[in-house]
C-alpha cells in the first residue's frame, strides 16, 4: 500500500513511537516552544492526529529565558504494564526527566528528575520487568552511550551509569534506543550529527551491558551520499530513529529528515517525521526502506485501516473555550494576555516583541507543514501609537517576517517588517484608511514568503515578500533545531482575530521555484 513521506510534516523532529494494541502514539521534540512534546495518534502510521502534549504546565516545562533551540530536546515515549512514560531532556533546566500517565490524552505527572546526564534518553524494559535508562553523555569524562537500571516512576538510578558503547565510528553518537529480539539486545544510535552527514547505526549483544557488535550494514540508514539530483536531495539528514513492530508482525522505522528548499543546503520548515518499512535478514540484522534509503512515496504493508487522503489545511474561528491544540507559544506564555471569547481571540501585547531574545512574545503560532501554504487572518480593533499587530512567518527572535498594522503621527500604516540577525527593518509600508478591520495573508513556496492585505470592500494588494533562505535552520546565527511557524501576534497594544485559515499544498511546484541569476556575457 502506498504512502507519502513525511508522515508528520513540518517541525516535528526526533520522533519516538510506541504501540498499544492497534493504536500507535508518536512524540517529537519542541525546544523553546510551549506546550512541550506533542503526542500524535494513528491506527495506520499514515493518518496522524495531534491528541495531546506531555508537558502542559510551567512546573513540567520551565522555559523562562531559554535560548533559541534550548529547552526540550529529544523525547522517548514508551508503554509498559498499563502506564505511558515519556523521558526527555530540558537542557535549560535540570536535564533528564521522566513523566508518566495512565491516560495518554490526559494530564501527565510532574517530572521525576534523573541524575544520569547526557541527552536523548530512552527507556527499555527487559522480560523480567527491569527498567533501564540509556542516554548519550560523558558522565565518566568519556563521551558515549551510558546505561543504568532505574525506577521509571521516581527517576531513582538503581545502578551506576556504565559506558556501553562509543558508537560505530561516526561523530556524535546519540539518540540511543534498546530493543530485544530473539535473545539479542539491539542498540540503535544516530551518528554523524543531525545535519547532512546524519545516519543510523545498529549493534547487538547477548548482555545488555555489552559487548556490542556492529552489523553487516553500516549505516542502516543515511542520505549523506544522496546529492546527485533534486529528487534525491528531496530528502536529507535522515537519522534519529525509533522502531516498532506492528500488530501484524511487520516492523517500521520512524526518523527525522529534512526537505531542502531546493538545490541549496538550506531547509526552513524543520526536521520532519518520516516512515520506512524495516525487515530483518536471516542473520537477524535490519534492512531499512530501499537498502537504507527513504523516498517521498513508499509502498509497504501498512497496518490498520487503509489511509485516507492526508491534508494539513487548518482553520480556526476561535469559537471554542480552549485554544486549538495546534497553536503554540514561544516559551511559557503570560496567559492573561490571551483572551478567547465571543468567537475571537484577543491578544494583549506588551513590551515583549517577536525580536526580544529569551522572551515570550504575545503570539499564537502554527507549524508550517508544507512549502506551499496560504494563510489568511481577519484582524479587528483599534491600533495605538507604536503598536504592532498582525501575521508573522516566524523561525525565532532573529529570523522572522511580519505583516503588521501600526499607528503613526500621520495615520495608520500596513508594514512588512523583517528581522534577520541584527537587521531589523521595514521593507515595505503603505498608509491605509484603517477603520478597525483588515485581512492579512501570507503565501509561501520553497523560495519566497509573499505578504498581502485587503481592506473591507477592497481587493487583495501585495505589499512585499521575503526569501525563505534567512528563515532556514542552517542560516540562523546559532545552531538551532526548529522550523518556521505562521503566527498571529500583537506588541504594545491589544488586537482581536476573528478567524484564521491555512491551506497547504503538499506538492512542490515542479520544477520548484529557483533563485535565478541572469549571467551577463562579459565582453
Supply the residues annotated as catalytic.
14, 174
Interface with ligand 6LW, residue 240, by CB under 6 A: yes
- ∠ Cα 120 483 346 (to 5°): 115
Of 449, 454, 453, whose CA–CA distance to 471 is shortest? 449
Of 252, 270, 248, whose CA–CA distance to 261 is shortest? 270
Buried-state track 446-471, b at ≥16 Cβ within 10 A, e below 16: bbebbbbbbbeeeeeeebbbbbbbbb
Interface with ligand 6LW, residue 173, by CB under 6 A: no
Among 175, 199, 345, 364, contact with ligand 6LW (rule: CB under 6 A): 175
Residues between 50 and 89 with contacts to ligand 6LW, criterion CB under 6 A: 73-74
Interface with ligand 6LW, residue 14, by CB under 6 A: yes
CB 242 within 8 A of CB 252: no
Interface with ligand 6LW, residue 119, by CB under 6 A: yes
Binding letters toward ligand 6LW, positions 472-501, x by CB under 6 A: ---------x--------------------
Interface with ligand 6LW, residue 449, by CB under 6 A: no
What would you measure as the largest C-alpha separation in the chain, in angstroms? 80
Looking at beta carbons, which residue is closest to ligand 6LW? 194
Residue closer to ligand 6LW, measured from CB, 30 or 352: 30
Interface with ligand 6LW, residue 277, by CB under 6 A: no
Interface with ligand 6LW, residue 12, by CB under 6 A: no
CB of 14 vs ligand 6LW, minimal distance in Å: 5
Interacting span for ligand 6LW (CB under 6 A) from 15-23, 190-198, 260-268, 418-426 = 190-198
Whole-angstrom CA distances from 65 to 110, 304, 331, 342, 485 are 21, 43, 8, 33, 20
Torsion, CA 483, CA 135, CA 221, CA 295, rounded to 10: -30
Which H/E stretch holds residue 402? strand 399-408
CB of 270 vs ligand 6LW, minimal distance in Å: 10
Quote the strand ranges of 81-198, DSSP E. Answer: 83-90, 95-101, 112-113, 119-125, 131-137, 144-149, 162-165, 174-181, 184-191
Interface with ligand 6LW, residue 97, by CB under 6 A: no
Output the DSSP codes for 237-271.
EEEEEEEEE-TTS-EEEEEEEE--SSSSS--SS--
CB of 73 vs ligand 6LW, minimal distance in Å: 4
Interacting span for ligand 6LW (CB under 6 A) from 189-197, 284-292, 303-311, 341-349 = 189-197
Residues touching ligand 6LW, count (CB under 6 A): 14
CB of 372 vs ligand 6LW, minimal distance in Å: 26
Q: What are the grid coordinates assigned to 302, written together?
A: 501498512
Helix and strand counts by DSSP (H, E) for the chain: 0, 39
Interface with ligand 6LW, residue 8, by CB under 6 A: no
Q: What are the grid coordinates assigned to 218, written together?
A: 553500516
Whole-angstrom CA distances from 502 to 311, 316, 326, 341, 367 are 11, 9, 12, 21, 11
Residue closer to ligand 6LW, measured from CB, 271 or 441: 271
Residue 54's SS3 state is strand
Interface with ligand 6LW, residue 146, by CB under 6 A: no
Interface with ligand 6LW, residue 402, by CB under 6 A: no
Interface with ligand 6LW, residue 120, by CB under 6 A: yes
Interacting span for ligand 6LW (CB under 6 A) from 188-196, 216-224, 283-291, 304-312 = 188-196
Q: What residues make contact with ligand 6LW under the rule CB under 6 A?
A: 13-14, 29, 73-74, 119-120, 174-175, 190, 193-194, 240, 481
Amino acid at each position: 500500500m502506498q504512502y507519502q513521506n513525511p508522515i508528520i510534516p513540518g517541525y516535528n523532529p526526533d520522533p519516538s513511537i510506541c504501540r498499544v494494541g492497534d493504536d500507535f502514539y508518536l512524540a517529537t521534540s519542541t525546544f523553546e516552544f510551549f506546550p512541550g512534546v506533542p503526542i500524535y495518534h494513528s491506527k495506520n502510521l499514515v493518518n496522524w492526529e495531534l491528541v495531546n502534549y506531555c508537558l502542559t504546565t510551567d512546573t513540567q516545562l520551565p522555559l523562562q529565558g531559554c535560548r533559541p533551540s534550548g529547552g526540550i530536546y529529544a523525547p522517548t515515549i514508551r508503554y509498559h504494564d498499563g502506564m505511558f512514560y515519556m523521558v526527555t531532556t530540558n537542557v535549560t533546566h535540570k536535564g533528564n526527566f521522566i513523566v508518566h500517565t495512565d491516560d495518554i490524552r490526559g494530564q501527565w505527572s510532574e517530572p521525576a528528575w534523573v541524575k544520569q546526564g547526557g541527552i536523548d534518553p530512552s527507556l527499555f524494559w527487559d522480560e523480567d520487568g527491569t527498567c533501564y535508562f540509556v542516554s548519550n553523555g560523558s558522565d565518566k569524562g568519556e563521551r558515549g552511550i551510558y546505561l543504568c537500571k532505574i525506577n521509571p516512576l521516581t527517576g531513582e538510578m538503581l545502578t551506576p551509569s556504565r559506558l556501553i558503547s562509543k558508537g560505530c565510528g561516526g561523530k556524535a553518537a546519540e539518540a540511543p534506543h534498546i530493543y530485544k529480539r530473539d535473545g539479542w539486545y539491539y542498540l540503535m544510535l544516530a551518528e554523524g550529527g543531525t545535519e547532512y552527514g546524519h545516519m543510523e547505526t545498529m549493534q547487538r549483544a547477548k548482555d545488555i551491558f555489552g559487548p556490542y557488535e556492529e552489523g553487516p550494514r553500516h549505516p542502516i540508514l543515511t542520505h549523506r551520499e544522496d546529492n546527485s539530483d533534486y529528487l534525491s536531495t528531496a530528502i536529507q539528514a535522515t537519522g534519529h530513529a525509533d522502531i516498532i513492530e506492528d500488530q501484524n508482525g511487520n516492523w517500521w522505522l520512524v526518523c527525522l529528515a529534512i526537505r531542502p528548499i531546493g538545490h541549496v543546503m538550506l531547509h526552513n520548515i524543520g526536521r520532519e517525521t518520516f516512515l520506512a518499512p524495516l525487515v530483518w535478514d536471516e542473520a537477524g540484522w535490519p534492512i531499512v526502506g530501499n537498502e537504507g534509503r527513504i523516498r517521498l512515496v513508499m509502498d509497504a504493508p501498512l497496518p490498520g485501516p487503509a489511509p485516507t487522503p492526508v491534508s494539513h489545511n487548518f482553520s480556526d474561528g476561535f469559537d471554542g473555550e480552549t485554544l486549538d491544540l495546534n497553536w503554540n507559544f514561544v516559551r511559557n506564555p503570560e496567559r492573561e494576555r490571551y483572551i478567547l471569547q465571543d468567537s475571537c481571540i484577543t491578544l494583549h501585547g506588551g513590551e515583549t516583541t517577536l525580536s526580544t531574545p529569551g522572551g515570550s512574545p504575545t503570539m499564537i503560532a502554527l507549524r508550517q507543514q508544507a512549502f506551499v501554504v496560504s494563510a489568511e487572518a481577519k484582524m479587528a480593533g483599534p491600533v495605538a501609537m507604536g503598536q504592532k499587530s498582525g501575521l508573522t512567518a516566524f523561525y525565532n527572535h532573529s529570523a522572522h517576517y511580519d505583516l503588521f498594522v501600526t499607528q503613526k503621527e500621520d495615520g495608520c500604516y500596513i508594514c512588512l517588517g523583517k528581522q534577520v540577525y541584527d537587521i531589523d527593518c521595514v521593507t515595505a509600508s503603505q498608509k491605509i484608511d484603517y477603520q478597525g478591520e483588515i485581512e492579512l495573508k501570507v503565501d509561501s513556496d520553497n523560495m519566497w514568503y509573499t505578504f498581502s492585505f485587503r481592506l473591507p470592500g477592497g481587493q487583495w494588494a501585495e505589499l512585499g515578500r521575503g526569501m525563505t533562505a534567512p528563515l532556514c535552520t542552517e542560516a540562523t546565527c546559532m545552531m538551532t533545531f526548529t522550523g518556521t511557524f505562521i503566527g498571529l501576534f500583537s506588541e504594545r497594544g491589544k488586537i482581536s482575530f476573528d478567524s484564521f485559515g491555512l491551506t497547504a499544498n503538499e506538492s512542490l511546484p515542479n520544477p520548484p521555484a529557483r533563485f535565478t541569476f541572469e549571467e551577463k556575457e562579459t565582453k
